[in-house]
Amino acid sequence: MARTGTGTRTGTSTDAARDQPLTARLPGGPRAGQTVAAVVLSLSPVCIELSEAEAGTASVYRCLLCVPVLVLLSLPEHRREGPPPRRQLLYGVAGGALFAGDMLLWSKAITEVGAGLSTVLVNVQVVLVPLLAWAVDREHVPRRFLLWLPVLIAGVVLTGGLFEQGASGSDPAAGTVHAVLAALSYSGFLFLLRRGGFQGHVVTTYTVVVVSATVFSALGGWAWGALDLTPPGVALGWLAVAAVSSGMIGWLLVALNSPHLPSHVGAVLLLLTPVGALLLGAGVLGERPTLALGAPPTPLRQWGRGGCALILVSAYATVTSRRRT
């Protein structure tokens, strides 16, 4: 039960979400599901790096290739629950637009301001998502989370390699703006993805998110000249793996589990994604992974290991805190 106070809108909505048959039967509970989602999502940056695809191309295909499977998965839910309310469809469309904006803006920022600062800024979602839940839904933010927040942010800074790279790139001013916009887009996407599951129709709403993200990624990639509709077969293969890991498994698990969790817990657990990508990149690519397209490769250094440790320790301390009754 989210600690949101008796009778608040978020508590009522979360209770409604927990009545859904699909989410109620997830093994290990929502925290385990969100943890698995974060780990699976860490595969996507490595696959995109191996594909060597442009930002728009990668964004489009990692979403487009998911759509047929997600439509099939949503059919039983649609038969059981009927069509989703119009508000949830709007959440889905808006969430998809924000997700596309995050993918494109972050990739753009990488070349302009460097991977370090971009990684740090986009993971400010750990602050913004609980803040949105507090402002919109009046959800309680516990003191323990606030106490550990500086440690989490320090971990993100070290994991992003900001001390190694600084604000390097072709256009630091524009890159900072794009990275901030990416952070806002990512936070809005996570907030709407969670909120869209409060009243059921989770898979259907998530399918709308992915379709919307496909369309907006194509438009954004075309506008920025970073879209190739006929990528090479090898690139398409890696993008298919990214689609399975992120679209069909990772983000779907987030959509299913995040409505069951307090917003700060879901946000903290998603910080395991850059940690996993950092370690996978070291093992698979032999370098510290870029976590986005176009970032310069650098060795896995002690700063990154220290950042991973800080994130893991603070995430454990925050997520496993004893619930108050």
Alpha helices in the chain (DSSP H): 9-18, 21-24, 29-41, 43-51, 55-64, 67-81, 86-113, 115-122, 125-137, 143-159, 162-165, 172-195, 202-223, 233-242, 251-257, 263-269, 272-280, 302-319
CA distance 313 to 255: 25
248 and 82 Cβ atoms separated by less than 8 Å: no
Q: What is the pLDDT of residue 318?
A: 74
Neighbour-count burial for 113-134, b at 16+ CB within 10 Å, e otherwise: bbbbbbbbbbbbbbbbbbbbbb
Angle between helices 172-195 and 86-113 (to 10 degrees): 160
Tell if the pTM clears 0.75, that is, is over it.
Answer: yes
Q: What is the pLDDT of residue 234?
A: 94
Q: Which residue has the tokens 């806002």?
A: 184
CA distance 282 to 284: 6
Of 139, 191, 198, 257, whose CA–CA distance to 14 is shortest?
A: 198
Would you give per-residue pLDDT tens digits along the chain (325 residues)? 333 333 334 444 444 444 444 544 556 789 999 999 999 998 888 888 888 888 889 999 999 999 999 999 999 998 998 889 999 999 999 999 999 999 898 887 776 766 556 666 777 888 889 888 988 988 888 888 888 888 877 877 776 665 555 555 567 777 778 888 988 999 999 999 998 888 889 999 999 999 999 999 999 999 988 889 899 999 999 999 999 999 999 999 999 999 999 998 998 898 888 777 777 766 665 654 444 434 444 444 555 667 777 777 877 777 775 544 3
The number of angstroms, rounded, from the C-alpha of 127 to the middle of its chain's C-alpha atoms is: 14
DSSP 8-state code for residue 196: T
The number of angstroms, rounded, from the C-alpha of 107 to the middle of its chain's C-alpha atoms is: 14
Neighbour-count burial for 71-90, b at 16+ CB within 10 Å, e otherwise: eebbeebeeebeebeeebbe
Q: What is the pLDDT of residue 17?
A: 44
Q: What is the pLDDT of residue 277?
A: 73
φ/ψ region of 198 (left if φ > 0, alpha if ψ in -120 to 50, else beta) reads alpha
CA distance 250 to 243: 9
CA distance 120 to 39: 19
Q: What is the pLDDT of residue 249?
A: 94
Q: What is the pLDDT of residue 120?
A: 67
184 and 132 Cβ atoms separated by less than 8 Å: no
Q: What is the pLDDT of residue 11?
A: 45
φ/ψ region of 82 (left if φ > 0, alpha if ψ in -120 to 50, else beta) reads left
